[in-house]
Amino acid sequence: MIAFVALVAVLGLSQSARLSSPHFENFMMEHGREYSTEVEHNVRYWTFYKNMAKWELMAKTEQGTATYGMNQFADLTEEEFSALYLSPVSAKDTFYFNMLPEAEKLDASKAADEVDWRAKNAVTGVKNQGQCGSCWAFSVTGNVEGRFAIKNGTLISLSEQELVDCDKVDQGCNGGLPYQAYDEIMRLGGLVKEEDYPYTGKDGKCTLDVSQIAVDVTGKEKVSTDEAQMAAYVAANGPVSIGLNAAAMQFYTGGVSHPWSFMCSPAGIDHGVLITGYGTEGGKDYWMIKNSWGTGWGEKGYYKLFRGAGCCGCNQMVTSAIV
> Residue 16 has what pLDDT?
52
Confidence of residue 134 (pLDDT cuts 50, 70, 90): very high
One domain for residues 310 and 225? yes
Please report whether residue 116 resides in a domain. Answer: yes
For residue range 211-256, list pLDDT tens digits in order. 999 999 999 999 999 999 999 999 999 999 999 999 999 999 999 9
- pLDDT averaged over every residue in the chain: 94
Q: Which of 261, 219, 282 has its CA nearest to residue 67?
A: 282
How many structural domains are present in the chain?
A: 2
pLDDT exceeding 90 applies to what percent of the chain?
91
> Residue 11 has what pLDDT?
46
One domain for residues 108 and 22? no
Q: Report the CATH number at residue 246.
A: 3.90.70.10
Q: Is 255 left (phi over 0), alpha (psi -120 to 50) or beta?
A: left
Q: Give the residue numbers annotated as catalytic, written as ranges.
A: 135, 271, 291
Rg of the chain (C-alpha set):
20
Please report whether residue 67 resides in a domain. Answer: no
One domain for residues 279 and 179? yes
> Residue 14 has what pLDDT?
44
Q: How far is CA 86 from the centre of its chain?
A: 8
For residue range 22-37, list pLDDT tens digits in order. 999 999 999 999 999 9
Q: Does residue 318 contact residue 240 with C-beta atoms inside 8 Å?
A: yes
One domain for residues 92 and 52? no
What is the extent of the structural domain holding 133? 78-322
For the entire predicted model, the pTM comes to: 0.93
* Beta bridge mates, 222: 102, 319
Please report whether residue 196 resides in a domain. Answer: yes
One domain for residues 150 and 28? no
Distance separating alpha carbons of residues 68 and 60, to the nearest angstrom: 10
Q: In this model, does residue 55 exceed pLDDT 80?
A: yes
Distance separating alpha carbons of residues 118 and 122, to the nearest angstrom: 6
For 153, residues 6+ apart whose C-beta sits below 8 A from its C-beta are: none
For residue range 277-320, list pLDDT tens digits in order. 999 999 999 999 999 999 999 999 999 999 999 999 999 999 99
Q: Does residue 276 contact residue 320 with C-beta atoms inside 8 Å?
A: no
For 212, residues 6+ apart whose C-beta sits below 8 A from its C-beta are: 192, 193, 196, 197
One domain for residues 116 and 6? no
> Residue 2 has what pLDDT?
44
Residue where a domain stops, chosen among 31, 61, 91: 61
pLDDT exceeding 70 applies to what percent of the chain?
95
Q: Is 1 helix (H, G, I), strand (E, B) or coil?
A: coil
For residue range 58-110, list pLDDT tens digits in order. 999 999 999 999 999 999 999 999 999 998 998 888 888 989 999 999 999 99
